[in-house]
């Protein structure tokens, strides 16, 4: 009889300061139906249920070159007042099993035109991988997405000032 292996979990928190006002940054983050606006690993996104609000499920196609083709994700929480959203990955052909992230955005202390975005996550460590490998992989993707969000919104602000 095979004994079931207990799932080891790991997680991390990443922070990105963006030279753009909170309403602009939040307007991009909160679009559950359009992650490809700033997540460059996302090729396409289609809502399979819901209208983009809490409980909605999206089917995401990943760009080629990554070790995955698709991901199925659910919007668990969306709070426009506190600028917070939580997402769970509920399926796909990747190694991010039981992945759950929480993203929060707020005005940087004493700087109205700057926004701080904090994204934290927990995920199962896949069999054959270490916590360090799993965290490094997820941190790379989350960090890249946050930098891409900063680049996009800062470019939008610069364009608005022209």
Query: Tens of pLDDT along 50-81?
Result: 999 999 999 999 998 777 899 999 999 999 99
Q: Name the helix (H) or strand (E) containing 160.
A: helix 131-161
User: 76: left (phi > 0), else alpha (psi -120 to 50), else beta?
Assistant: alpha
For helices 131-161 and 22-29, give the axis angle rounded to 10 degrees: 130
- DSSP bridge pairs for 151: none
Q: What pTM was estimated for this model as a whole?
A: 0.91
- Helix runs in the chain, H state only: 22-29, 131-161
Q: In Å, how far are 5, 80, 129, 148, 160 from 145, measured between CA atoms?
A: 32, 20, 23, 5, 23
Fold annotation for 9-161: Alpha-D-Glucose-1,6-Bisphosphate; Chain A, domain 4 (3.30.530)
Each residue of 79-129: pLDDT tens digit?
999 999 999 999 999 888 999 999 999 998 877 789 999 999 999 999 899
Using CA atoms, how far apart are residues 153 and 43, in angstroms rounded to an integer? 20
Using CA atoms, how far apart are residues 96 and 79, in angstroms rounded to an integer? 25
Instruction: Write out the two tokens for 157.
Output: 């602000």
- DSSP bridge pairs for 13: 120
Each residue of 9-18: pLDDT tens digit?
999 999 999 9
Using CA atoms, how far apart are residues 119 and 66, in angstroms rounded to an integer? 22
């Amino acid at each position: 009889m095979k004994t079931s292996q207990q799932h080891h979990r790991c997680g991390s928190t990443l922070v990105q300061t963006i030279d753009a006002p909170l309403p602009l940054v939040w307007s991009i983050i909160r679009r559950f139906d359009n992650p490809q606006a700033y997540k460059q690993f996302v090729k396409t996104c289609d809502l399979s249920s819901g209208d983009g609000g809490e409980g909605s499920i999206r089917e995401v196609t990943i760009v080629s070159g990554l070790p995955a083709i698709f991901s199925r994700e659910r919007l668990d929480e969306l709070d426009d007042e506190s600028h917070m959203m939580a997402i769970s990955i509920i399926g796909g052909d990747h190694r991010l099993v039981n992945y759950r992230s929480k993203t929060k955005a707020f005005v940087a202390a004493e700087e109205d035109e700057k926004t701080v975005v904090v994204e934290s996550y927990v995920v199962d460590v896949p069999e054959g991988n270490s916590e360090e490998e799993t965290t490094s992989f997820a941190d790379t993707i989350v960090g890249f997405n946050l930098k891409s969000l900063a680049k996009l919104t800062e470019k939008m602000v610069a364009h608005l000032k022209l």
